[in-house]
Structure formats: C-alpha cells, structure tokens
Structure 1
Amino acid sequence: MPLYSFEGRSPQVHPDAFVAPTATLIGDVVVEAGASIWYGAVLRADFGQILVREGANVQDGSVIHGGEPTIIGPGASVAHGCVVHGAQVGAGSLIGNGATVQDGARIGSRTLVGAGSLVPPGAEIPDEVVALGSPAKVRGPLTESTAFWVTNNGEEYQRLARRHAAGIELVG
C-alpha cells in the first residue's frame, strides 16, 4: 500500500486496520483500529488531518480530501466512488455510491446519504434520516429498509476487510 509523507506528516495506520494495496494515503491521515480503506481509494491530507475512526470504511475509488477537520466517524461507510471534501460524517452513517459531501458539511449519526447525492458546502444533515438529491434534502426518517443498510454496512465491511487481509494474493 502506498503511504506517503507530506511536509513531515505521515499516515498512521492501526495494525488492526485494513488498507488495500492499491489505496493511497498521503500526509496527515489517521486510520483507527478495525477501519478499512479499499482498492483505489485516495486519502490526501495536505490541507488538514483526515481521521478515519474505528470500524469505518472508505470503499473502492473514493476520494477523501480537504480542510480540517475531515472525519469519517466510527462505523461509518463511504461507499464506492464517493468524494468527501473537508466534511464530517457521523458515526454509523452511510454515504451512498457516487455521492459527494462538500466542505464544512456535517452528516449526523446513522444517516443515509443516497447514491449520487450532493451535500453542498456547510449543509447539516441530522441524525437518523435519509437525504437524497442534488442538493441533498432530508426526505424523512430511516425506514426499516434504509435502517437495515445503515446498521449492517459497517459491520459487514469489517468482516470483509478481515477476509481480504487474510486472503488476497498478487497474481503474476
């Protein structure tokens, strides 16, 4: 896995975290225990620290960047192909595939931001809701179906990360 120091600040990865070999971490990135950073993800902390809290995951092809603080909360999921730029994602939240969360935005705990949504700069999305659209707007509380995904996605990715850590091998 490529880890790069930038201006004297180096990524810190807990030994119990999984960082895919094709993920790239640059500068002041902290990845806590049980967290996972997946294939092709880029975390570039040159404007401020990026903190990926315990059990959180940043999935394939996502980009995390921006000013301080940029926090992916405990057990939160940033799904495939997302951009989180200078924002905070609350504990246990799920940012759907291809969503963008911009500077200064704050996503509450156990919140679902729908796939392809755009959370504009400075927006505040409360706890335990579904936010959709461009710009993302609260559409209501979590339903049984959305609560299932919010509740289970982080734990499922922790299990999957352990499988990848134990079972991937470079071929050829």
Structure 2
Amino acid sequence: MYLGKLTHWPQQRAVLPDAVNRALEALAAHDLNTMPAGRYEIDGDRLFFMIQEMITQPFDAGRPEAHRRYADIQLLLAGEEGFGVAAPDPGLAVVDDFYDSRDIAFYVTPANEQRLNLQPGDFVVFYPGELHRPGRCVGESMTIRKVVVKIDRALLGL
C-alpha cells in the first residue's frame, strides 16, 4: 500500500512503479471534477479508470476486499472517505469469491485491520492481494466522488 497526495506526487515519482506513474500522469491530464461518472480507458483492460459517485456507509457495513489481477489507485475528489486496510493474509477466510468473474473477493475482518481517512486530493495504491474496505463513513454518511484506477499486475511486473 502507498498513501500520497496528488499535488505532491511529482516529488514522489521516483519511489513509485512506472505503471502507477503512468496512471497518475493520465489522471493529472484530465479535469476529473467535470468528467461524468463512468469508465475511461488509458490502455484497454490493462490500465483504465472509473469515476464514481457514492454514499459512504458505516464502517461495519462493509467487508474487506482484495483483487488478484489488478492494483487499485483510489483518488478522492470530493467528500471524506474512510478505509479499512490490512496486509495480505493467506490464512484469512474468504466470505465471497468472485476472483474469476470480477477480480474481487470479500474476506472476514482481519484482526490487524487499520483505519485510514482520505481528504480530497489524497490517493492510496493497493497492490494485488492487499486488503481494503473502501467507501466507509469518516463521521457521518455523505456523498463522495472518487476515481478508481485499475492497473493490470503484468504492468507492475507481478
């Protein structure tokens, strides 16, 4: 996992994989606040982003998730978004496995889950296998606007 701020990203490029930098360059080239919700391709199914609008939910209402094929970059554009985060745990029980059809599985809550809150302009990178519980309330439920970038693991050399 990597936590950053889009305005500070140019100074942090050296520590990030080329595919992550490529994705952030593509985001920086768009006026994300005026684009409609939907999917936007950068490199077909290998690298694309989705602009999403949603209402945050209570922390305990969601389940941690992980992906096998894709890394996520989650960039908050408006509102406040909480996340649960945890390191991969091969022994953690899967509740719902949709890896084959949707590249996602939901897990029981790990004992070591931490909370992370994003403000507009903050982004977090989750690599394949890293557990995250997005879309959680920070205080009260609110509408948020965010970008989720999907990066095929092959572009990361994984």
Scaled by the length of structure 1, the TM-score of the pair is 0.24
Structure having the higher helix fraction is 2
Structure having the higher strand fraction is 2
**Larger RCO: Structure 1 or Structure 2 (Cα < 8 Å, ≥ 6 residues apart)?**
2
